[in-house]
């Protein structure tokens, strides 16, 4: 077992009708703990390095190289993923460093700008064989799409995937970052409609998996 692409883990989970856990790395000790826990559970894991984490370390390279090295020595399959990158140049750096998957977060942009920029970033990443996650609905915000009644529209989601070519889509369905109490409630009906809308919507008719972002899954009421 060793470093793998998130594409492999997500595809396997989708085929099995399950999910795959992706957890944010803060420092090397976080990554070590996550890999050790995954090994004890006998399950694969995705290590996510966010733009905020890269900035905290003064750049992506130090924490990225450490996490990639840890993944290569792991007892179970481990993917290293760039999370919530709002700067295209950070995505390009992650691809150059050897990340197998990246997330470009244009969710805070107007729809047309999000589509245009995500498509450009995805095209460059795909030329390197990298799996790309896009965002529709400002999942990364502290309120925004998490405000009451704000959700990702299934028809818009399908159009977004077709226009950008992303391999996976982060959507707003009631989860929230930076929660201080247990007020988030997942819209399971919307999740089902989004899943149906993205079935066969990807390249060569592939299904496009949904990505759910949350501060702590234990704090979400389904």
The tens digit of pLDDT for each residue in 47-75 reads 999 999 999 999 999 999 999 999 999 99
Phi, psi of 46 (to 5 degrees): -110, 125
**Is-catalytic flag, 83?**
yes
6-221: CATH topology: TIM Barrel (3.20.20)
- Write down the pTM of the prediction: 0.88
Choice among 15, 83, 153, 216 that is catalytic: 83
pLDDT score for 163: 97
9 within 8 A of 38, measured Cβ to Cβ: no
Q: Which residues of the chain fall short of a pLDDT of 70? A: 1, 138-150, 175-184, 215-222
Amino acid 149: pLDDT: 56
**Are 104 and 135 in contact, with CB atoms under 8 Å apart?**
yes
Sequence-distant (≥ 6) Cβ neighbours of residue 95 within 8 angstroms: 102, 124, 125, 128, 130
Tokens of 57: 């370390």
């Amino acid at each position: 077992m060793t470093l793998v692409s998130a594409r492999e883990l997500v595809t396997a989970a989708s085929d099995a009708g399950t999910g795959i856990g992706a957890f944010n790395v803060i420092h090397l000790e976080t990554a070590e703990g996550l890999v050790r826990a995954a090994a004890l559970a006998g399950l694969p894991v995705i290590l996510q390095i966010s733009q905020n984490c890269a900035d905290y370390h003064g750049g992506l390279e130090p924490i990225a190289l450490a996490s990639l090295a840890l993944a290569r020595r792991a007892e179970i399959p481990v993917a290293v993923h760039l999370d919530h990158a709002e700067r295209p140049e950070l995505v390009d750096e992650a691809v150059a460093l050897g990340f197998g998957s990246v997330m470009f977060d244009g969710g805070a942009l107007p729809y047309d700008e999000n589509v245009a920029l995500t498509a450009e970033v995805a095209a460059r990443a795909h030329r390197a064989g990298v799996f790309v996650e896009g965002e529709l609905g400002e999942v990364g915000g502290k309120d925004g799409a998490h405000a009451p009644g704000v959700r990702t529209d299934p028809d818009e989601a399908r159009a977004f995937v077709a226009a950008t070519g992303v391999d996976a889509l982060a959507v707003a369905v009631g989860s929230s970052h930076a929660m201080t109490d247990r007020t988030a409630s997942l819209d399971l009906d919307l999740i089902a409609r989004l899943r149906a809308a993205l079935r066969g919507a990807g390249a060569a008719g592939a299904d496009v998996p949904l990505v759910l972002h949350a501060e702590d899954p234990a704090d979400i009421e389904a």
